[in-house]
Structure 1
């Protein structure tokens, strides 16, 4: 089976958000599908807003991988793919107030941590791997490495020497350890809610990579 790598398009966005919701390793954080999909939409919107580069991997007419990156000095061309706030609000209309609070608390904690981790190193980077997702059904087909190579080629073109990314213990962060990335920072987080009557915890990481 052949995997096609191509530019991300407007008509891909709904499927991209379902992919993120499906592969996001946050079981137990959100109790229902609607909450998970709204959170995934808000999460993806942030990276589309920043993104200057985006590719999807397509297998059997299904999107099985996504990579979004940004290079300093390039135009944020993926911003046009973001949903309008009213669309995001409409997606949340069926949620209870407690669910909305949970989503806001989760995302606020995550992005505040990102800013803290990046702050001491920000001037060292010319690019960012904003979001990188591969469906479990496509793993073993070199989808992740092919997407990463596409981003690397783009970064060379835009003279990015070192780029960074965030990941966490809900993701397969070992991929970066085994592919030459350097872990620079980590922060253990306690999320503003409980799971199974226990404080919800996770760890965020900052990695970077220098192109040769």
Structure 2
């Protein structure tokens, strides 16, 4: 699909403190609907805000795309120093506060809510294990890329990843990776020419869940 001309006029900038709710709105629309549909609105909002904050504090490169002042997409990118993730201290306090809220809520959560709160944390552990292997792609990682459904399919995902490449190159990285899974739209990464470099089955509980790791040059 050709790039929509309007995409080229969007502003891509560094994420600021006031963007958390806008990013969480997109995250919640994509991944918290089960909670929302059963009436757990506050839990859905907590899960979205906590998981976004977790990715932000782990992403020295945190980008948002906005249209008419509204956040419509985000791309969060981590950097590894000898296998260790480099933090983003600007988001640490926000993350700590939301972690405390999520941990307290998890004490009485059912399996669906617990998974919504901490599923991304388990995937984070998988990515860190991969980075610790010293794989040449493990210099940077696209931790999270999310796009408002109304803006999907118009070239914005490719544009955000290209912006991430540029920032990674500026930090001295020559390659990066990202993680997706067989229940997500992994074909997008095939479409833009990334290489599937590994698979991880550690989160398979009998349902065939497989994490796919894609890599590419910066």
TM-score normalised to the size of structure 1?
Answer: 0.77
Does residue 132 of structure 1 match 2:149?
no
CA shift at 1:47, angstroms?
A: 1.3
Match of 2:213 among 183, 206, 209: 206
- Note closer, same or farther for the CA distance 1:62–1:201 as it changes in structure 2 (3 Å cut): farther
- Structure 2's unaligned 5+ residue stretches are 1-5
- Note closer, same or farther for the CA distance 1:157–1:106 as it changes in structure 2 (3 Å cut): same
Residue 114 of structure 2 is matched in structure 1 by 104
Larger proportion of helix: 2
Could you say what secondary structure the match of 1:98 adopts?
coil
Partner deviation per Cα, 1:127-177 (whole Å, 9 max, x = no partner):
111111111111233211221111110111122122111112443221111
Distance 2:134 2:107 in 1: 41
CA RMSD of aligned residues (A): 3.2
- Structure 1's unaligned 5+ residue stretches are 192-198
Match of 1:174 among 173, 187, 208: 187
Could you say what secondary structure the match of 1:11 adopts?
helix
Check conservation: 1:38, 1:88, Cα contact below 8 A: no
Distance 1:88 1:21 in 2: 17
Larger proportion of strand: 1
Check conservation: 1:168, 1:203, Cα contact below 8 A: yes
TM-score normalised to the size of structure 2?
Answer: 0.75
- Note closer, same or farther for the CA distance 1:111–1:179 as it changes in structure 2 (3 Å cut): same
Q: 1 or 2 for the larger relative contact order (CA 8 Å, sep ≥6)?
A: 1
CA shift at 1:118, angstroms?
A: 5.6
Does residue 186 of structure 1 match 2:194?
no
Check conservation: 1:3, 1:59, Cα contact below 8 A: yes
1:1-212 aligned within 5 A: 1=6, 2-24=9-31, 27-28=33-34, 31=38, 32-73=40-81, 76-77=87-88, 79-82=89-92, 83=94, 85-87=96-98, 89=100, 97-99=108-110, 102-105=112-115, 108=118, 110-112=120-122, 114-116=124-126, 119=129, 122-124=133-135, 125-183=138-196, 184-187=198-201, 189=203, 202-211=209-218
Aligned length: 201
Check conservation: 2:59, 2:78, Cα contact below 8 A: yes
Check conservation: 2:53, 2:98, Cα contact below 8 A: no
- Note closer, same or farther for the CA distance 1:109–1:60 as it changes in structure 2 (3 Å cut): closer
Distance 1:95 1:189 in 2: 19
Tell me which stretches of 4 or more aligned residues in structure 1 moved more than 6 Å: 91-96
